[in-house]
Structure 1
Amino acid sequence: MNHNRFIFAFLFVFVSCISLAQTASIKGVILDTDKHPVSNVNISSQGNSVQSDSNGFFEITVPSNRKVSLIFTHVSLKMISLTVNLKTNEVFVFNPIMNNSQEQMGEVFVSSGNRKRVQGIATIDTETIKKIPGANAGIENVLKTLPGVNSNNELSSQYMVRGGNYDENLVYVNEVEVYRPFLIRSGQQEGLSFTNTDLVQNVEFSAGGFQAKFGDKLSSVLDITYRKPTQFGASFEASFLGGSASVDLVSKNKKWSAVTGVRYRNNSLLVNSQDTQTNYTPTFGDIQTNINYDISEKWQMSFLGNISENKYLYQPLTRETKFGTIDQPMALAVYYQGQEKDQYDTYFGALKTTYKASSSLTLKLIGSLFHTTEKEHFDILAQYRLGNVDPENPTDPSAIDFTRGIGSQLNHARNDLDALIANIELKGTKEWKESQLEFGLKYTRESIRDRVVEWEMIDSAGFSINPPIAILPENNQPYSPYTGPLLPYQDIRATNFNTINRFSGYAQWNKQTEIGSSRVWYHLGARFQSWNVSGVSEEGKNQTVVSPRAQFAIKPDWERDMVFRISGGLYHQPPFYRELRDLDGVVNPNVKAQEAVHVVLSNDYNFRMWNRPFKWVTELYYKSLSDVNVYSIDNVRIRYVANNNAKAYAQGLDFRLNGEFVPGTESWVSFGYMKTEENYENKGYIARPTDQRLKFAMLFQDYMPNIPSVKVYLNLVYNTGLPGGAPAYSDPYLYQSRLNDYRRADIGFAKVFVDSSTQNTKKGWLKNFKELAVGLEIFNLFNNQNAITNTWVRDVYSKNQYAIPNYMTSRVFNVKINARL
């Protein structure tokens, strides 16, 4: 599978100098006035010529560092001429529209790809997202292979970026902020992320130092654009984990278009590979649509809608987990009674209108509504037996030779939440004196009704265990009777009815110019947000924050194609609802916005190796945080202290090498080092729950040389262990441990029957497909045991507590089929 090519490339970049050809390349898709691809267009330049394929795609190599003219000709359409002056190894994307009425001429000096480079934005190819295997495949699955992005939970679509937690990431779809359910505790309850991969056109991601036009979060921005179809199309996918289908519709006059997708997912295949044997009946499904209407050339409207219903029925039966050492193997056997019933129903709609008031002014008005009703109900009794494994049956965890501890644990919850979030936003872009101004104003109203009722009872060897933190009478048994109350080990009860009103806005100035022979870009801007929390016994005060931000990038007039960038500023994260609730479930209306100063230095280097394009990106970052809202993480549930009594920092270095290690495919290698610590109430600095020091990831695409229609996809992730696994009540300043390193490799094989290169050669029923492939996926290829948390049980003899790891999924096989009409 040509792995030697990959190893050679990786070492080659680190230890040798790269010899660069004095060329650049131009590629793109040619469309006609009806937005249909145009094939057989001849593109010529200085004796070199190519033709566009059946999808209108072309790519041509041209000399660099001088003016070059290209001629686009077609037998039935008018000629297009283009003059460019590109740097060495620069890739210029040009998507012309050919018509039959007039010839077109133009001269270009700046590559459109530079906009992403100077903003520090990573773009992800949508085809890569669909093909790469993962237990929770989709955009988030690929994000976790990027530097600075960490996760140790393959069942969850949530991720951490450069020391931040799951609540610190912005997600936009068609410029509309999207939300997740509130009450999800574990990855296996999530089912589906909001983003439907079948509908996606563009994916852009920034891991820090992002511009003022993006919202008020501390860590990252994921900006997704859904497809606006130009012709009819349909696709479907089916596997052991569920299925999806989508359809593209376009009206005859081309004014109306719509793309709609339906998804269903069942995690039983993955959950049944865990230590706990269960009766598991999940139903995760949604339907999404993106409808576009062109009222005129200047005025367009679109609607984005989503309905999602996630039902989660979980009835654990038994659990057998082996742990300990070779000399003293131990086992935990658990027998369960009871069940968990959860349901998350979400409804989302957004209406967006875009009006081009003049050639230099564009205005957008966006309104959205998000409604979620969630319930989390469970009563589960777990009776455990802890002991030494029978040496005659070391592979059987239930063969306990000597019992060291017995006990039971009863967990109860009746948690219900109803949230309604409404937004209206005005945005605009103004071209002004060779500069660009961007601005926006937004109002948000959040109405949330929440009831929390959770308690836990624990007994060991027949004796009820009192809560770890409680003022109780002296226990002098058996000499005198104990008169203290019988209390739950943990008990949380609260009812909250809250309304949060927010006003926010931004203004940003962008300019591109030159300093000597070097190109430079400036981005200067600021955001503000003002909010108030009402509906609690203590009325919250009005709070306002202002966040200035800046970016500066320079592309020196060097032979090597490099861009240097510095970005950062002041970032605030006003508290969302979960950040207002303390450990007892009570809302503190005066929680302040967390504040962070970001500084990001980066270098973006484009080069060619083996006459193919590659990119090496290096980023050095530092964050200084104040008014930090300390939290704990259990699986994917975050609980906040809600008092802003801490400060923290995060620092690190990220590398990413990506390019065509195999011709025609994109692969990459990521490496990152990160350290983040917090100081709570001036007790000293300790590791934060997201302190994942080292990260290595590889996403690799290949094909079998002798059978090129058989594709191979590898997704490999290694993360050092997170702080975690300690009992929820423990003081991290007195006791803190780390989970084991997270190691996972997913591999996929696909037999491609039809794709863009073979469609015209197929006969019979295959000619009806634009794409058709059947694949085999192996999740957790090496069957690594990765733990997400620990279960703590007591040894009645030694009075010790043992941490029994809660392992994630083991090796699982999946078969899937993909097709597009």
Structure 2
Amino acid sequence: MKKIFLFLLILPSFLLAQKTTILKGTVKNSQKEGIEEVSIKFGNTGTSTDIDGNYSIRIPLDQEITIVFSHVSYKTFTEKITATNRTVIRFSPTLLLKTEKLEEVIVKDSRKEAAGLISIDVKKAQNIVGPNAGVENVLMTLPGVNNNNGLSTQYNVRGGNFDENLVYVNGIEVYRPFLIRSGQQEGLSFINTNMVRNIDFSAGGFQAKYGDKLSSVLDITYRKPTETATSVDASLLGASVTFEGNFLNDKLSTITGIRYRDNSLFVNSKQIETNFRPRFTDVQTYLSYEFSEKFELNFLGNFSLNNYNYQPISRRTRFGTVANPLELVVFYTGEEQNNYLTLFGALSADYKVNKNFTLTGTTSRYNTQEEEHFDIAAQYNLGEVDANIGSENFGEVEFSQGIGSQLNHARNDLDALITNVQIRGTIQQEDIQWNFGVKYQKEDIKDRIREWEVIDSLGFAIRPPFSPSNNQPYEPFEGELTPFQSIRKDNNVAINRVSGFVQFNKRSVWNDHDIWYNVGVRAHNWSVTGNGIASKSQTIVSPRGQFAIKPNWGKDMLFRVSGGFYSQPPSYRELRDFDGNVNVDVKAQKSIHFVSGMDYSFIMWERPFKLTTEVYYKDLSDVNSYTIDNVRIRYRADNVTEAYAYGLDLRLNGEFVPGSESWVSIGYLKTEENINDRGYIARPSDQRIKFGILFQDYVPNLPDLKAYLNLVYNSGVPGGAPAYSDPYNFQNRLRDYRRADLGVSYIFADANKQFSSGWLSQFKELSAGLELFNMFDIQNAITNTWVRDVYSKTQFGIPNFMTGRVLNFKVAMKF
């Protein structure tokens, strides 16, 4: 009886399925971009497109229907369709913009602004000029985001360091290598800009659905192709190829990118003469297979190989003041051979339980194999330069202040495997949304450290800083010769983590004012086993919340506040101290965020503009203080520091030139730390003033000739301290970071400029241009090399300058 009853229940839907088929496709505009929220209707049946412009609707068999596509900003489009069999029908219309002038009708979605997210146009990331053009380069033009290394994609946000930034691609967290200490070694960013659809960024006060880091969130979404195409970019720095398409009746979509980069062009502009060819290769793919309207399977894979073979020959650096100029001359022997191999794979499944409930399951594995091998000997001469203009020896070294040598050796090998499994869910009920998730992660790290440095100054081997005192050269030292610094460790560390979150979101109206708010909480439990020692299980809880209101005023303004408790459980880098020892009991660093902001949208010069203002304060405790050498961070691993950061960020963006969005950013930051109650000093990321411009322009009578300017000014950061030294004794700052990059390109073909005959008819897009990096040839210092003088016991900080002016040619095409 039960079987008969069940059969009767499913019979109507079975008969209905036999008499209908699926009509699906992508609604696009004239630029081939998907249009969101397009209404699709026939009779009393209807649906709408998603964020990518995709739709799917059931239509009857053997019956002519008139289907209507409508949108408030586009002309209505109708089509008569008759389905004769149950095969899926693919139909992708193109809607044209309405050309009639409306009376100040503006339709906006303020959800991301209310959540404190900055949405960045993907075209900005593709067109921006810079040594590492891409998503991160755009971020560095925003207020609160700093970097003083033109060859690095790493960035500091509001006083944090590189390890405090979350990066997601399609909801999957990605990681950065462990051993890399130089922007020259760093290579390509994980994010392939040519595969990106959406870029969202939060500089603080972010939601509970994001992970456990202290500073920022970069949320990247890769796109699903709507056409079959191949894109090729080539320049003097390398090349990339991106293929995208749909197969198997549009059920399978794939986008794959291959990138190759050679930084020799930049290295040849530095003050160090080298035999050096850093090469980086990256292959990345995103596959998506739609089994049904409810179930979809996705795969994200990445292979990256960085080869860094370095043979320094000589270096000549002048520094100091006009009255007291100094010169360092170094001659090198030896070489450095580093290899970084990274493998990443993630499989995710999206299941729509019903129209209000979606589940996503993801499993991923990340493996990095890193080798850092070098033997480099250096003989140096530190001398005073004759600054007397009337002297016959003007500009020449007249007195050697320090002569010596040093030998650096390393055989460092690291193998890390990070595996995780997570489930996330979303429940939508009209203006209420629930987000929840749980994640398990295991990290296995094998780290072999063999690193030492021997220093000789004026013929006397400099002793380790904590060795018994000696009075060389006045008294002979008869003790054993030992390296100035030496690390010899073998670390096997395993970390098990379980984390989860729940978040409530609501949108409503209060006295004709739109309001948004969300509250959520995260929990994270972890335990560490290292070198036969196990830590106690530790747990942190992080409540967070956001509130935004858009008043029903004549002026378009939005106000928001956000904050909460943020914690960062230690990664392996944070567990390892200066000497390579692992402290399994390191606690999570904690921070209380408070962020208040305002968006003001207005019309100026008959064009749209928006002013964004944010003030923030962060109170940090259980801080694991660190030193930084370029992009290598070394932690104390002791949690004995407290710190704070506060500042103001301003950004004005809009059409300074009609049809082209640009922006100006201004930021002020102050961050200090108190190590073991010794008093507050500047943190390594204390970059007080930030000024950035991202500007686009074109020739009015020749609009296909475009120019792009990327201008950044950052005040100097603390210059660091020699190894083993007390940072309280070294608080001098590096010089200010100033950089201007200019690009000029001509568009031969694009979506608005197509040809039906001739050689240009073969291209969907084609452009070529020139890029001038560091066009004012400014010497920016990234860090200091410390030279020691045995007589005066003085340690001189000699700045390491970054790249000079470099000219690059590039071409981009799509067919």
After superposition, the C-alpha distances for 1:533-587 in whole angstroms (9 at most, x for unaligned) are 0132321110000000000111111011111101010001000110000111111
Equivalence for 1:526: 521
Between the aligned partners of 1:497 and 1:99, the Cα distance in structure 2 is 65
Give yes or no for the alignment of 1:593 onto 2:588.
Answer: yes
Which amino acid counterpart does residue 533 of structure 1 have in structure 2?
Answer: V
Give yes or no for the alignment of 1:165 onto 2:161.
Answer: yes
Give yes or no for the alignment of 1:35 onto 2:25.
Answer: yes
Between the aligned partners of 1:771 and 1:115, the Cα distance in structure 2 is 33
Which amino acid counterpart does residue 592 of structure 1 have in structure 2?
Answer: K
Give the C-alpha shift of residue 217 in structure 1: 0.3
Give the C-alpha shift of residue 713 in structure 1: 0.1
Which amino acid counterpart does residue 539 of structure 2 have in structure 1?
Answer: T
Give the C-alpha shift of residue 494 in structure 1: 1.3
Do the aligned residues in 1 keep the contact of 2:669 with 2:689 (CA within 8 Å)? yes
Between the aligned partners of 2:415 and 2:588, the Cα distance in structure 1 is 24
Q: Which stretch of the first structure deviates more once superposed, 693-702 or 787-796?
A: 787-796
After superposition, the Cα gap between the structure-2 partners of 1:96 and 1:231, relative to the gap in structure 1 and judged at 3 Å, is farther
Between the aligned partners of 1:144 and 1:395, the Cα distance in structure 2 is 47
Between the aligned partners of 1:231 and 1:400, the Cα distance in structure 2 is 65
Q: Which stretch of the first structure deviates more once superposed, 677-686 or 318-327?
A: 318-327
Which amino acid counterpart does residue 680 of structure 1 have in structure 2?
Answer: I
After superposition, the Cα gap between the structure-2 partners of 1:273 and 1:476, relative to the gap in structure 1 and judged at 3 Å, is closer
Equivalence for 1:376: 372
After superposition, the Cα gap between the structure-2 partners of 1:403 and 1:471, relative to the gap in structure 1 and judged at 3 Å, is closer
- Among candidates 402, 405, 411, match of residue 405 of structure 1: 402
The within-5 A match list for 1:437-586 is 437-468=434-465, 470-472=466-468, 474-475=470-471, 481-586=476-581
After superposition, the C-alpha distances for 1:261-291 in whole angstroms (9 at most, x for unaligned) are 0000011100111110100122200100000
TM-score normalised by length of structure 1: 0.87
Equivalence for 2:276: 280
Equivalence for 1:220: 216
- Among candidates 163, 168, 175, match of residue 179 of structure 1: 175
Give the C-alpha shift of residue 630 in structure 1: 0.7
Do the aligned residues in 2 keep the contact of 1:386 with 1:795 (CA within 8 Å)? no
Give the C-alpha shift of residue 475 in structure 1: 4.2
After superposition, the C-alpha distances for 1:109-155 in whole angstroms (9 at most, x for unaligned) are 99562111100101111111111110111111110001110000010
Do the aligned residues in 1 keep the contact of 2:68 with 2:76 (CA within 8 Å)? no
Do the aligned residues in 1 keep the contact of 2:546 with 2:563 (CA within 8 Å)? yes
Give the C-alpha shift of residue 54 in structure 1: 6.8
After superposition, the Cα gap between the structure-2 partners of 1:146 and 1:477, relative to the gap in structure 1 and judged at 3 Å, is closer
Which amino acid counterpart does residue 517 of structure 1 have in structure 2?
Answer: D
Which amino acid counterpart does residue 744 of structure 1 have in structure 2?
Answer: R
Give yes or no for the alignment of 1:430 onto 2:420.
Answer: no
The within-5 A match list for 1:308-323 is 308-323=304-319
After superposition, the Cα gap between the structure-2 partners of 1:633 and 1:294, relative to the gap in structure 1 and judged at 3 Å, is same
Do the aligned residues in 1 keep the contact of 2:548 with 2:558 (CA within 8 Å)? yes
Do the aligned residues in 2 keep the contact of 1:322 with 1:397 (CA within 8 Å)? no
Between the aligned partners of 1:476 and 1:766, the Cα distance in structure 2 is 75
Q: Secondary structure at the match of 1:158?
A: coil
Between the aligned partners of 1:318 and 1:215, the Cα distance in structure 2 is 45
Do the aligned residues in 1 keep the contact of 2:460 with 2:472 (CA within 8 Å)? no
- Among candidates 78, 83, 89, match of residue 67 of structure 2: 78
Give the C-alpha shift of residue 725 in structure 1: 3.8
Do the aligned residues in 2 keep the contact of 1:33 with 1:97 (CA within 8 Å)? no
- Among candidates 235, 243, 247, match of residue 243 of structure 2: 247
Give the C-alpha shift of residue 482 in structure 1: 2.8
Which amino acid counterpart does residue 606 of structure 1 have in structure 2?
Answer: S
Between the aligned partners of 1:539 and 1:219, the Cα distance in structure 2 is 29
Equivalence for 2:775: 781
Q: Which stretch of the first structure deviates more once superposed, 402-411 or 150-159?
A: 402-411
Give the C-alpha shift of residue 424 in structure 1: 0.5
After superposition, the C-alpha distances for 1:395-451 in whole angstroms (9 at most, x for unaligned) are 999953433321101111111000110010000001247411110000000000001
Equivalence for 2:757: 763
Do the aligned residues in 2 keep the contact of 1:320 with 1:398 (CA within 8 Å)? no
Do the aligned residues in 1 keep the contact of 2:242 with 2:256 (CA within 8 Å)? yes
Between the aligned partners of 1:487 and 1:768, the Cα distance in structure 2 is 68
Between the aligned partners of 2:28 and 2:371, the Cα distance in structure 1 is 52
Which amino acid counterpart does residue 35 of structure 1 have in structure 2?
Answer: G
Between the aligned partners of 1:397 and 1:725, the Cα distance in structure 2 is 32
Q: Which stretch of the first structure deviates more once superposed, 155-164 or 243-252?
A: 243-252
Structure 2 alignment gaps of length 5 or more: 1-21, 39-64, 83-104
Equivalence for 2:671: 676
- Among candidates 295, 300, 305, match of residue 299 of structure 1: 295
After superposition, the C-alpha distances for 1:9-45 in whole angstroms (9 at most, x for unaligned) are xxxxxxxxxxxxxxxxxxxxxxx96535556xxxxxx
Between the aligned partners of 1:472 and 1:671, the Cα distance in structure 2 is 50
Q: Secondary structure at the match of 2:278?
A: strand
After superposition, the Cα gap between the structure-2 partners of 1:647 and 1:120, relative to the gap in structure 1 and judged at 3 Å, is same
Do the aligned residues in 1 keep the contact of 2:684 with 2:720 (CA within 8 Å)? no
Equivalence for 1:815: 809
Q: Secondary structure at the match of 1:557?
A: coil
After superposition, the Cα gap between the structure-2 partners of 1:491 and 1:676, relative to the gap in structure 1 and judged at 3 Å, is same
Give the C-alpha shift of residue 624 in structure 1: 0.5
Between the aligned partners of 2:79 and 2:427, the Cα distance in structure 1 is 29
TM-score normalised by length of structure 2: 0.88
Give the C-alpha shift of residue 394 in structure 1: 11
Give yes or no for the alignment of 1:146 onto 2:142.
Answer: yes
After superposition, the C-alpha distances for 1:328-364 in whole angstroms (9 at most, x for unaligned) are 4332111000000000001100001000001211000
Do the aligned residues in 2 keep the contact of 1:601 with 1:621 (CA within 8 Å)? yes
Give the C-alpha shift of residue 686 in structure 1: 1.1
Q: Secondary structure at the match of 2:152?
A: coil
After superposition, the Cα gap between the structure-2 partners of 1:523 and 1:353, relative to the gap in structure 1 and judged at 3 Å, is same
Which amino acid counterpart does residue 349 of structure 1 have in structure 2?
Answer: G
Between the aligned partners of 2:307 and 2:674, the Cα distance in structure 1 is 40
Between the aligned partners of 1:333 and 1:477, the Cα distance in structure 2 is 24
Q: Which stretch of the first structure deviates more once superposed, 529-538 or 371-380?
A: 529-538
Do the aligned residues in 1 keep the contact of 2:272 with 2:312 (CA within 8 Å)? yes
Between the aligned partners of 1:499 and 1:98, the Cα distance in structure 2 is 61
Give the C-alpha shift of residue 794 in structure 1: 4.0
Aligned length in residues: 746
Do the aligned residues in 1 keep the contact of 2:360 with 2:423 (CA within 8 Å)? yes
Give the C-alpha shift of residue 790 in structure 1: 1.4
Do the aligned residues in 1 keep the contact of 2:119 with 2:201 (CA within 8 Å)? yes
Q: Secondary structure at the match of 1:436?
A: strand
- Among candidates 651, 658, 661, match of residue 656 of structure 1: 651
Which amino acid counterpart does residue 768 of structure 1 have in structure 2?
Answer: Q
Equivalence for 1:365: 361
After superposition, the Cα gap between the structure-2 partners of 1:482 and 1:172, relative to the gap in structure 1 and judged at 3 Å, is same
Between the aligned partners of 2:178 and 2:448, the Cα distance in structure 1 is 12
Q: Which stretch of the first structure deviates more once superposed, 728-737 or 445-454?
A: 728-737
The within-5 A match list for 1:714-725 is 714-725=709-720
After superposition, the Cα gap between the structure-2 partners of 1:737 and 1:611, relative to the gap in structure 1 and judged at 3 Å, is same
Q: Secondary structure at the match of 2:809?
A: strand
Give the C-alpha shift of residue 374 in structure 1: 0.4
Do the aligned residues in 2 keep the contact of 1:333 with 1:397 (CA within 8 Å)? no
After superposition, the Cα gap between the structure-2 partners of 1:395 and 1:546, relative to the gap in structure 1 and judged at 3 Å, is farther
Do the aligned residues in 2 keep the contact of 1:332 with 1:398 (CA within 8 Å)? no
Do the aligned residues in 1 keep the contact of 2:37 with 2:71 (CA within 8 Å)? no
Between the aligned partners of 2:435 and 2:216, the Cα distance in structure 1 is 20
After superposition, the Cα gap between the structure-2 partners of 1:685 and 1:530, relative to the gap in structure 1 and judged at 3 Å, is same
Between the aligned partners of 1:484 and 1:576, the Cα distance in structure 2 is 39
- Among candidates 785, 794, 799, match of residue 791 of structure 1: 785
